[in-house]
Each structure stands twice: as structure tokens, then as C-alpha cells.
Amino acid sequence: MSLDYKVLEKGQPGVVGGGEKKFYAQIVNGKEANIDELVKDIERFSALSEADIRGVIIALENVIQDKLSQGRIVRLEKIGSLYPSISSTGELEAAKVSAASIKKVGVNYRAGSRIIKAIKDAGFNKI
């Protein structure tokens, strides 16, 4: 199994007209893997039933939401870690920074070393 990539031309960020343009490789994402597919694959590797697997996935989602909303880092061992992030507008004085300054919230994911290795080992196919 290999990862498909394509070649894109990109200009320099922040330079009017793009500045010097260079070519970069970019992954071509394939079809999504949904919960149904994941459940069927997990069933093959475990003694758990479909209902048990679905229950665990839903419970894991709920627990992750709870921990992230507490500002905690969720470490999923070899899968990696999830952590909350925010983006805010800049203020001229520290006292003016408030919750209203926060413009975007998100969750960052840092893959575990085994996942990174699996992607590297998959190889690449230029399309």
C-alpha cells in the first residue's frame, strides 16, 4: 500500500504576486474510512462484538470531549495525543486580552511514533 501525492506550485506567503514560486508534493487524500468500516476491521482483530466496539468508540469520544474541555492533553499511547488550542486577536495591552479576544478554538493531534512510521513505510506514488 502506498500514499498518492501530486505536485503543486506555490508562491511565497505574504508576498504580493506570490514572489518566487516553487513546486511541492501534497498528499492526495482518498476515500474516508467511516465508523462502520473501522468497526468491521476491529471485529476481525478482537473478540468483541460490533455493539461492544461501537459502544467503546462512542464512550471514548465522550470522554475525550470531557477531558479536552477541561484543558487536558489526552494521550492515547501509540495512537498519539490530542490537545486543545485557541487563536486570538492581538491586543496592545495584556489587560485587554479577554475571552472575547479568542476567535478560534480547535484540537491539535500529534501522532504517535508507530503511526508516523507506518505512513513513512507505506511508500509514495506520484500521480
Phi, psi (deg, nearest 5) at residue 108: -100, 150
Report the Cα–Cα distance between both ends of the chain, in Å, rounded.
15
The DSSP symbol for 13 reads T
Q: Give the tens place of pLDDT for each residue, 47-104.
A: 999 999 999 999 999 999 999 999 999 999 999 999 999 999 999 999 999 999 999 9
CB count in 10 Å sphere of residue 40: 11
Joined grid coordinates for residue 15: 508576498
- Give the global pTM: 0.77
